[in-house]
Amino acid sequence: MSIFEYNGSAVVAMVGKNCFAIASDRRLGVQLQTIATDFKRISKIHDRLFIGLSGLATDVQTLYQRLVFRHKLYQLREERDMKPETFASLVSAILYEKRFGPYLCQPVIAGLGEDDKPFICTMDSIGAKELAKDFVVSGTASESLYGACEAMYKPDMEAEELFETISQALLSSVDRDCLSGWGGHVYVVTPNEIKERILKGRMD
Amino acid sequence: MLTQLSTNQDPFENRNRGTRKCRRKKMGLVGKGFAIVAADTSAVHSIMLHKNNEDKIMLLDSHKLVAASGEPGDLISFEFGGLIRVEYVQKNVSLYKFRNGIPLTTAAAANFTRGELATALRKNPYSVNILMAGYDNESGASLYYIDYIATLHKVDKGAFGYGSYFSLSTMDWHYRSDMSVEEAIELVDKCILEIRSRLVVAPPNFVIKIVDKDGARDYAWLQDVTTAAV
């Protein structure tokens, strides 16, 4: 079993009309054993920027702490929040710093940029950015997620429809992956509000 | 007794030991205003039982308990490595209290421990699994699960070791978030019974400690086997 599959994870982000949604599963496992069913993989960097980290849980926590630190410093120096594109470059640089002893996680970054234009991207564990216009996925369930998202995604969805789509895509994909699941955690972010919801799926 | 060699290739398995699971059982759970931690009390090296009344649950300060276990391996210093780390955390927790006048919260102590484990992970990793239980006046009782690779999670019930396969399932069925001390002890007893009945290498003796608003203290020493007097 690969070290990326040690804890099990599934993260997906989708673009809608002036909004985005980011969702993850909630399982924290140690190979075949489930330790917790309320593990948080998605974290808020600021009101219009979220990062979801899949992969080894210890590196998820370490990397998140480093990124929050860097963003807080940025806020002190620049007196404003980081743009999503800038943040993605920051994450990429931090990951590549550890090129020969990497953080074993794959981030999914989702944010609202200038003019409320949604921005999503993912990268591998050494910081190779992959921008997308529609959706990005990562984690042990990534292959199922690619299929489900490709089938269910439509451009320019409103917030409610986007929530339905991303939830169905997440739940149906993690049902095919034994290492992720135990519910879902979905954030739907519009310029005015952040809606956080917990999904109850197949609890196995 | 044969130990199985695992075939995973993760970079942290740089010892020729068996699976990451060990024979040191620990479990903990949170009830109404208290947290309980139980651990086996066997000090084992390879096939030999050195002592069967070893206390593996240390007091971090007046209102915190740490149950730490090292992995079985070729080196004896391993287990000492685990205990030395806990003492290091203990002293740092006290230092904070002396410097700042107030004790660390359980969450802060758990995060500090995780930080130490995470920093050492890519330099000189030590494989200590930790269950940290504590009581804070503001937030009540809490239990933190810290893996040997520094995964931190706040849990209501947790367990390490081969016994976790049995105790986690038992706790999943019987656990309620507002259990009284008596109910929690009954549940711990059920878990210990399950471990003793079903685990082929079940340790005979256990210690149970409790932490609540009155502090951390021993609750019970369950003894099935006493050593011969020498």
Per-residue confidence (pLDDT) for residue B223, from 0 to 100? 82
The interface residues of chain B toward chain A in range 137-156, judged by CB-CB distance below 8 A, are 145, 147, 149-153, 155
State the pLDDT at residue B8: 36
- Residue in the structure block whose two tokens are 């439509």: A154
Chain A residues whose beta carbon lies within 8 Å of the beta carbon of residue B26: none
Q: Are strands A118-123 and A129-132 parallel, antiparallel or unpaired?
A: antiparallel
Structure tokens at B91: 């002293």
CA–CA distance from A161 to each of A109, A137, A167, B20, B207 (Å)?
Answer: 21, 19, 10, 44, 54
Q: How is residue A106 annotated by DSSP?
A: E
DSSP state of B46: T
The DSSP code sequence of B119-187 is: HHHTTS---EEEEEEEEETTTEEEEEEE-TT--EEEESEEEESTTHHHHHHHHHHH--TT--HHHHHHH
Residue with tokens 């930080």: B115
Amino acid at B102: I
CB B154 within 8 A of CB B148: no
| pLDDT mean for each 10 residues of chain B (230 residues) | 33 35 76 93 83 86 89 43 75 92 94 92 85 94 94 94 91 92 94 91 90 93 72
User: What pLDDT was estimated at residue B86?
Assistant: 81
Model confidence pTM above 0.95: no
Distance CA A4, CA A196 (A): 27
> CB–CB of B158 and A39 under 8 A?
no
Q: What residues of chain A lie within 8 A of the CB of B145, using their CB? A: 35-36
As a whole number of Å, the CA-based R_g of chain A is 16
Residue of A3, A38, A58 to mutate for B, most B C-beta atoms under 10 A: A58
Using an 8 Å CB-CB cutoff, list chain B residues near A5: none
Confidence band of A1 (pLDDT split at 50, 70, 90): confident
Q: What pLDDT, on the 0 to 100 scale, is given for residue B228? A: 64
Quote the pLDDT of residue B204.
Answer: 86
Residue B97 is inside which H or E element, if any?
helix B77-100
Q: Output the pLDDT for position B128.
A: 86
Q: What is the mean pLDDT of chain A?
A: 96
Kindly provide the ipTM of the predicted complex, given to two decimals: 0.92
C-alpha of B135 from chain center = 16
pLDDT, residue B83, reads: 63
Beta strands across the sheet bearing A118-123: A42-46, A49-55, A105-112, A118-123, A129-132
The whole-angstrom separation of Cα A204 and Cα A201 is: 9
Q: DSSP class of residue A82? A: P
- Mean pLDDT over A173-177 rounds to 95
Residue A80 has pLDDT above 60, yes or no: yes
> What pLDDT score does B25 carry?
82
Q: How far is A176 from chain B (nearest CA, A)?
A: 23
Which of A72-76, A90-94, A186-190, B88-92 shows the lowest mean pLDDT across its residues? B88-92
* Residue B224: predicted pLDDT: 77
- The tokens describing B182, both together, are 């008596």
CA distance between the termini of chain B: 26
pLDDT of B125 reads 81
Q: State residue B54's pLDDT score.
A: 83
The pair of three-digit structure tokens given for residue B181, joined into one six-digit string = 């001390």
B37 phi and psi angles, rounded to 5 deg: -130, 135
The pLDDT tens digits for A111-144 are 999 999 999 999 999 999 999 999 999 999 999 9
Q: Give the model confidence (pLDDT) of A138-172 as tens digits.
A: 999 999 999 999 999 999 999 999 999 999 999 99
